[in-house]
Structure 1
Amino acid sequence: MELRQLHYFVKVAKKEHVTQAAEELHVAQSAVSRQIHQLEEELGVKLFLQKGRNLQLTPAGQLFLKRAEVILSDLEKAVIEIHEFMDPERGEIRLGFPHSLGMSLVPQVVAAFRKQHPKVKFRFKQGMFPTLLRDMVQGDIDLAFISPFPDDHQSVCGEVLLTEHLLAILPPSHPLAGKEEIDLAELKDETFVMFSEGYSLRPIVWEACLEAGFVPKVGFEGEETDTIRGLVAAGMGVSLLPDMALRQTGPLQPAKVRIRTPSVTRTIGLIRRSNEKLPLVAKVFQAFLIDYFNNTLQDNH
């Protein structure tokens, strides 16, 4: 059995299609089919069944996939550890983060870190809250920024880096746009521009509105802070966004107003897998982040 066969098998299992797997692997379709056939002959079982134009794993294939993924993951970790042992400054950090932190925070901290460690590489994965937790548990990433911080997850641990206030954002022509602060209840009759289901900021805004005594009337939904900000600036409604998401400048910007009551905040945390040692380079980055948030970012909040 060869490692190449395991790589091909896992890719076909994920794509459920030999042609698509071959395209991603940059090899001929016949080469992939031949390796899968040889693997099945060696194991003495069928790993796939034809289902229309796609392939479906057999029960034996499902069992083998779990083991193959562990083997390949362990091999990748071993290669990383050897590279770090030879030169920790040339390691790779696999970092996950939500979309709301991708515009400014992640580029900011990565740039600051690489000034001190210019040869370290990064592999990034963006995702929503449940996606980041899944990627972390499955071993696809080493560290992840996450919001809100998961207090009681069995498989991940970490620390809260920052607690950030959310601000009300209003169209520039809104009657309350010139105020320094408002009560959230003053927006009870407004149309809200909300994040779509599955985004962690949505329940924070929703619960804050309920605490203020009203159910928000949702007129528009979006998946990016840029979209939310732009729709509000264009007069489509009001919303709540973290201060960090409102630091960009441009021709179309909403008015931002502090919320007096209730206090609306989100936590930003850094998570890793429980009971598993971080790669050395990721451990260096973790220590850098804790110091960076305690000193640089906290000074700006």
Structure 2
Amino acid sequence: MDTQNLTTFIAVAESGSFTQAAEALHLSQPAVSKRITALEEQVGQPLFDRVGRQVSLTDAGRTLLPYAKKVLQDLEDGRRALSHLHEKVAGRLSIGTSHHIGLHRLPPVLRAFTQQYPEVDLDIHFMDSEVACQAVLAGKLELGIVTLPTQPLPHLQQRAVWDDPLSVVVAPGHPLLDKPRARLQDLAGHPAVLPDEATYTHRIVTRALQQHGLVPRIRLATNYLETLKMLVGIGLGWSVLPDSMIDGSIRRLPIPQLALHRELGAVWHERRTLSGAGLALLGSLESDIRGRMAP
């Protein structure tokens, strides 16, 4: 079967739309329809039901979909395995990372990496860590540089790179700063702005608070830590943020009972053969670890 036809079939199946698949593949809609028709002729059965604007998989389409994905993944693994035969590190490397890591952790690593491997084309996607992990598992990304999952995910390999201490933070002038020694229970009387509940960071924070019997009064939640920092700075509520983000616009509020941290690092699919570029980037991350541990 033609791999282009299989790629198009998967795009239509995942989007449920010939139009969206055409946009994602940078093709015209007639070109997408032509590829699907050719594939249907090959398998001898219709793969999609087209009722009005609705597109859904037939039984044959649902049966073919996992095999189509496996064929394309196996071909990609074969290309990566062949790339290991050459000393030259080149080609496209698709990675996903969060905005926070992209701003605060990755720049020096990527600067050194691109200088050492100028023929690697980095395809960087900024997204939530949770979404990046799922994209790696789905085979859409080769690597994720993310907040590591709080619980192991099946088939997802991970390597810790940075320990990321977290602290309770408030705006300058927040009434809790006037207390000689703020207690954890004091937070209950003030509104909070926290990471979105779908994020690993939210789970880390709320689990630690619940262990002390504290249920925060959440005024607002968002998955962008830079936005949370701004909201804290204007006095909308307290939050828990990485120590690396603390500057003059917000203040750390020491809470002796609370010691929070998360781990940032790399994830990849255990069944995926990493390209030479992917292995090289993991090596660059390891170098960053060694550089920080050196006396």
TM-score tier by shorter-chain length is 0.7 to 0.9
**Cα deviation per residue 1:194-248 (whole Å; 9 max; x = unaligned)?**
112201111222123223442111111112011111111111011010113336x
Q: Is the 8 A contact 1:193 1:219 kept in 2?
A: yes
2:112 matched to which residue of 1? Answer: 112
Larger CA deviation: 57-66 vs 122-131: 122-131
Q: d(CA) in 1 for partners of 2:244 and 2:180?
A: 18
Q: Name the SS of the counterpart of 1:237 in structure 2.
A: coil
1:136 and 1:142 in contact (8 A); partners too: yes
The equivalent residue for 1:263 is 259
Q: CA deviation at 1:165?
A: 1.5
1:52-201 alignment, distance < 5 Å: 52-82=52-82, 85-86=85-86, 88-149=88-149, 152-177=152-177, 182-201=182-201
Does structure 1 residue 215 correspond to structure 2 residue 215? Answer: yes
Superposition deviation, residue 183 in structure 1: 4.3
Conserved? CA contact 1:192–1:216, under 8 Å? yes
The amino acid of 1:261's aligned partner reads Q
CA contact (8 A) 1:98 1:145 kept: yes
* Corresponding residue for residue 243 of structure 1: 243
Distance 1:53 1:168 in 2: 50
Q: 1:234 to 1:33 in 2, by over 3 A?
A: same
How many residue pairs match? The answer is: 295
Deviation per CA, 1:45-68, whole angstroms, max 9, x where unpaired? 011101330211111112222222
2: distance between equivalents of 1:276 and 1:8?
22
Does structure 2 conserve the Cα–Cα contact (< 8 Å) formed by 1:128 and 1:198? no
TM-score (norm 1): 0.85
How much has 1:40 moved relative to structure 2?
1.3
Any idea what SS the aligned residue of 1:267 has? strand
Could you say if the C-alpha distance between residues 179 and 254 of structure 1 is closer, same or farther in structure 2, counting changes exceeding 3 Å?
Answer: farther
Moved more, 278-287 or 216-225: 278-287
8 Å CA contact retained: 2:150, 2:204: no
Task: Report the equivalent of 1:204.
Answer: 204
Query: Residues 179 and 109 of structure 1: is their aligned pair in 2 closer, same or farther, counting only changes over 3 Å?
Result: farther
Structure 2 residues not aligned, in runs of 5+: none
Task: Sort the Cα spacing of 1:83 and 1:276 in 2 relative to 1 into closer, same or farther, 3 A.
Answer: closer
Q: Note closer, same or farther for the CA distance 1:25–1:262 as it changes in structure 2 (3 Å cut).
A: closer
Aligned to 1:282: 278
Distance of 1:36 and 1:160 partners within structure 2: 43
- Measured in 1, the distance between the counterparts of 2:266 and 2:78 equals 24
Q: Is the 8 A contact 1:161 1:294 kept in 2?
A: no
Q: CA distance change for structure 1 residues 27 and 115 in 2, over 3 Å: closer, same or farther?
A: closer
Seq. identity, %: 26
Distance 1:205 1:92, change over 3 A: same
1:157–1:36 distance in 2 versus 1, CA, 3 Å: closer
Greater shift, 204-213 or 184-193, is seen at 204-213
Shift of 1:83: 5.3
The whole-number CA distance in structure 2 between the counterparts of 1:70 and 1:186 is: 54
Alpha carbons of structure 1 residues 123 and 254: separation in structure 2 relative to 1, 3 Å: same
Q: Cα gap change, 1:119/1:15 in structure 2, threshold over 3 Å: closer, same or farther?
A: same
Comparing 210-219 and 180-189, the one that deviates more: 180-189
Contact map agreement 2:95 2:141 (CA 8 A) in 1: yes
Task: Summarize the Cα distance change of 1:149–1:7 in structure 2 as closer, same or farther, 3 Å threshold.
Answer: closer
RMSD, aligned α-carbons: 2.8
With over 3 angstroms needed to count, the CA separation of the structure-2 counterparts of 1:29 and 1:157, relative to structure 1, is closer
* Cα distance in 1, alignment partners of residues 52 and 31 from structure 2: 21
Q: 1:15 to 1:154 in 2, by over 3 A?
A: closer
2:250 is matched with 254
Deviations 1:246-299 (A, max 9, x none): 36x7xxx22234443221111223222225442222112212212212433x57
In structure 1, what is the Cα distance between the partners aligned to 2:116 and 2:205? 38
Aligned residues of 1:181 and 1:257 also touching (Cα < 8 A): no
